[in-house]
A = this chain, B = another copy of it.
Amino acid sequence: MAGKVEARLAELGITLPAPAAAVANYVPWVISGNLLFIAGQVTLADGKPQFVGQVGRDFTVEDGAKAARLCAINILAQVKAALGDLDLVARCVKLTGFVNAGADFKDHPKVVNGASDLMVEVFGDKGRHARAAVGSSSLPLGVAVEVDAIFQID
C-alpha cells in the first residue's frame, strides 16, 4: 500500500523512475545516523541525458527549472530506494544545485527553484530546505543541472 507521500506523488502525476545505478565505485545514497546523503542527480530520463547544454545559452530559465525538477524526481527515486517508504523522510535538509551556465548568467535561484518547488509540493513543510545555487562551468554528460541532497530520517 502506498504511503502518504507516494499518494501525493500520484496526485501530482509523478511516477518515480527506476533509480539510476551509480556507474562507478560510489553509491547513490548513504545513511549516516539520521542523515541520508543522496549523490548528485542529473537530468536522466529512461537512462538518457535530457537538457544537454547550458542554461542561458541553450535553455531558458524556465527550461532550466524543468531540468532541476527532473533532477529532484531522480533524487526522490533514490530516497525511495534508500528508505523503501518516502513517509520516513522527516525533513529535506539541504539541496545544492549546480547550474551549467556561462559568465553572464544570474538566474541560478530561479533554475534551482524547479527542484525546491517539487520538494515542497511532495513533502509540504518537511520539504523546506536550506539550499545553495551556484554556476558550474560544465556538468557530467553535458547536462544543464545537477542537484545533490541531504535528508533527515526519523
Interface residues of A (CB under 8 A from B): 22-30, 32-35, 37-40, 54, 91, 93-96, 98, 100-110, 113, 116-117, 119-120, 127-142, 146, 148, 150, 152
Roughly how many angstroms separate A37 CA and B76 CA in the complex, as a whole number?
A: 21
Number of copies of this kind of chain in the complex: 3
Closest chain B residue, CB of each to CB of A146: B134
- The answer on a CB contact under 8 Å between A109 and B24 is yes
User: Measured between C-beta atoms, what is the minimum distance from A19 to chain B in Å?
Assistant: 13
User: Measured between C-beta atoms, what is the minimum distance from A132 to chain B in Å?
Assistant: 3
- The answer on a CB contact under 8 Å between B137 and A25 is no
Roughly how many angstroms separate A23 CA and B94 CA in the complex, as a whole number?
A: 16
- The answer on a CB contact under 8 Å between B132 and A146 is yes
- The answer on a CB contact under 8 Å between A134 and B139 is yes
- The answer on a CB contact under 8 Å between A136 and B134 is yes
Which residues in B have their C-beta under 8 angstroms from that of A132?
Answer: 39-40, 96, 98, 146, 148
Which of B34, B39, B100 contacts A130 (CB under 8 A)? B39
Roughly how many angstroms separate A106 CA and B142 CA in the complex, as a whole number?
A: 5
A/B interface sample: 6 pairs, CB < 8 A: A27-B128, A27-B130, A30-B128, A40-B132, A130-B148, A134-B136
Closest chain B residue, CB of each to CB of A101: B138
Question: Besides A30-B91, A135-B137, A135-B139, 9 other CB < 8 A contacts?
Answer: A23-B109, A24-B113, A25-B120, A33-B152, A40-B131, A98-B134, A106-B142, A130-B148, A132-B146
